[in-house]
A and B are shown apart, each in its own frame.
Chain A
Amino acid sequence: MGEELKVIVFGLGEEEYGIEVEKVRTIERMMPITRVPKVPSFIKGVINLRGVVLPVIDLRGRFGLEESTSTENSRIIIVGVGDVEIGFIVDSANDVIDIDSDNIETPPEIVGGIRAKYLRGVAKIGENRLLIMLNLAEVLKQKEIDQILEIEG
């Protein structure tokens, strides 16, 4: 038995992803985003979160995947790692589950087009549900945004 993790589950395209609940500040509905010039296209801009200006990025774009258009279900997940606070646009966010850290397996080189270093692992829940756990610290690193592996769809 490993340690118990509380995980926020969100959807991006076909896949389900997880972020540890303590890294998540809040989950917001879509709101007006102010475009910021001269930044990579996956940075959608900044929002006003109760008086604090926060950047918002499209996670799919961050991983070099095709970006989806926002829907009624789209959410902005505000996460904080170290001194960086940022919002992720996701297709849906609707679940909090407990998983056992023993059930997280080291990811293969590439999962759903995302390089392994951005992933903490893949957790198996129940019979046939897989949850991709993100390595937030790596995702939020600015330096290598250009070196994202391109995977043909």
Chain B
Amino acid sequence: MAAKQNQENLPVVLVYRRPQFNLPHRNRLSRHFILLDPADSQEPTSSFLSTYAQSVRALLCVGYSTITSETLSLLPSLELIVACSAGVDHIDLQECHRRGIAITNASVAFAEDVADLAVGLLIDVLRKISGADRFVRGGLWPVMGDYPLGSKLGGKRVGIVGFGSIGSEVAKRLVAFGCSIAYNSRRRKPSVPFPYHANVRGLAADSDILILCCALTEETHHMINEGVMTSLGKEGVIINVGRGSLIDEKELVQFLVQGKIGGAGLDVFENEPDVPKELFSLDNVVLSPHRAVFTPESLEALIDLTSANLKAFFSNKPLKSLVEIEL
């Protein structure tokens, strides 16, 4: 009896997900919140929301299920969206801003793992690790002799695009390898000890390597274009752990195929899980199936962070990972 009463006092959280995305921490969350999950119901989502979600103040967005202004219009009491991803480009940010809906993301939970993968992809591209591994597995070493030389990482100039929690973890790691760091961000960050470039093309001109760690927005869509890649140059390497559409992918493929750029390490693509086939025959490209955050440790950290954000919200305390939206 007491348990049921406690249940009724718990705050309500709307779980918003496409049916194929699971909620790994349902049990943990159910101890503290009443979970409303339209994907569990046979009713179409819009009528479910209209019936049951009118007074819902908080929404937990699982995976990158899109939240449109139509959806938001069915949630008149919504004040908070807790995203389970680093990127929030799947949410109608303009509408949230207009409505005063706060958004928290998960970059902080993932930052180390994403940074680790960015560095791993970079070393792989420069030192040809995946290519050399294929060479050995294919039995080619005794037949063909030494593998072609790679390129040294130490002393290279790294340009980090987006200096948030992920970008700063990348910088911290690469400094230990003897790289010099510069960055581009929406605004110069006074606490960051590295040179700032106001635009990406300028950063590319001064860099041997570009690492993309920024959010996907209207401004950053196809930010890595023909001009930037030309500025980066023939030996330049691009690592993308942000979103596929930060790069003009068609242009990138052309640059790689024609040898106008040195190489690329990509965890994300414009049209996942489709990857341009021309890349499969290239040895100076390392491809990853959007796995930057998928370690058990990151997922645990994600669960902790999203729970913490929800708890903070319902006890009127400051949110843990509020996203600053700039429009």
A, B co-complexed: no
Which A residues are closer than 8 A to B by beta carbons? none
